[in-house]
Amino acid sequence: MEPRRMLLQRIKQYDFSLKELNLYLDTHPNCRRALAMFAKYKKLRENAIAEYNEKFGPLTPEQNNDLEHWDWVDDPWPWERS
């Protein structure tokens, strides 16, 4: 799998873990372990997204950080993808 897809896969995995912890924390708001794990994966996810932005561009429009060019439109559009 090419690096871009592997990175995307990692981001999905973190998203999923965070969603699971979110559901658990809804009913266990004081569980320290869940809160610690949530913080851990949140950080990992932020790093992975930052890496993705740097290498492959924004995942979502607001991740555009180029003041001279709106690079959101540079990505291959879904129908243009190989």
Partner 1 sequence: MNLDMFSNIDGLVLRDSSAPFADRAETMETGTMGAMPANPSLAMAYVPYQQWGDTMEPEKALSCGTLFSDLAFPFEKGGSR
Q: Answer yes or no: are the C-beta atoms of 61 and 74 closer than 8 Å.
A: no
Q: How far is the CB of 21 from partner 1 (least distance, A)?
A: 7
* Beta carbon nearer to partner 1, 8 or 72: 8
Closer to partner 1 by Cβ: residue 17 or 53: 17
Tell me: does residue 13 bind partner 1 (CB under 8 A). Answer: yes
The whole-angstrom separation of Cα 13 and Cα 29 is 23
Instruction: Show contacts with partner 1 in window 35-74 (CB under 8 A).
Output: 37, 41
C-alpha angle with apex 35: 32 to 36, nearest 5 degrees?
A: 85
